Structure 1
Amino acid sequence: MIAQPSAVPNRHGPTSRHRALHFRGSLGRFATGVAIVTFDGVSKRHGITVNSFTSVSLEPPLVLVSIARNTRAHDELAGRPFTVNILGAEQQALAMHFAGRPGVEPEWVEGPVAPRLSRVLAYFECTPWAAYDGGDHTLYLGEVVDFNYRSGDALAFASGRFTTIPESQLGVEDLL
Structure 2
Amino acid sequence: MAIDPRELRQCLGHFATGVTVITCRGDDGLPHGATVNAFTAVSLDPPLVLVSLDRRSKVCSLVESRPFTVNVLEAAQKDLAMHFAGKPNQDVVWDADSDCGAPRLGGALAHISCTPWQHYDGGDHVLYLGEVQEFRIYDGAPLLFHTGKFHHLGGDHDPLLWDDSADGPGGMSWFSAASTS
What range is the shorter-chain TM-score in? 0.7 to 0.9
TM-score, with length taken from structure 2: 0.82
Structure 1 contact 152–166 (Cα < 8 Å) conserved = no
CA drift of 1:22 comes to 0.6
Structure 2 contact 69–112 (Cα < 8 Å) conserved = yes
Write the distance in 1 (CA, Å) between the matches of 2:111 and 2:154: 18
Write the distance in 1 (CA, Å) between the matches of 2:33 and 2:139: 23
Structure 1 contact 68–74 (Cα < 8 Å) conserved = yes
Structure 1 contact 41–77 (Cα < 8 Å) conserved = no
Residue identity matched to 2:74: G
TM-score, with length taken from structure 1: 0.84
Q: Give aligned-pair identity as a percent.
A: 47
CA drift of 1:45 comes to 1.8
Runs of 5+ unmatched residues, structure 2: 165-181
CA drift of 1:106 comes to 1.2
Query: Pairwise mapping of residues 90-169 of structure 1 onto structure 2 (< 5 A)?
Result: 90-109=76-95, 110-113=97-100, 114-166=102-154
CA drift of 1:107 comes to 1.1
Deviations 1:54-112 (A, max 9, x none): 00001111000000001133212211110000001001111011011112211112221
Structure 2 contact 63–116 (Cα < 8 Å) conserved = no
> Of Structure 1 and Structure 2, which has the larger fraction of its residues in helix?
1
Write the distance in 1 (CA, Å) between the matches of 2:12 and 2:109: 24
Runs of 5+ unmatched residues, structure 1: 1-7, 10-15
Q: How many aligned positions are there? A: 161
Write the distance in 1 (CA, Å) between the matches of 2:111 and 2:159: 16
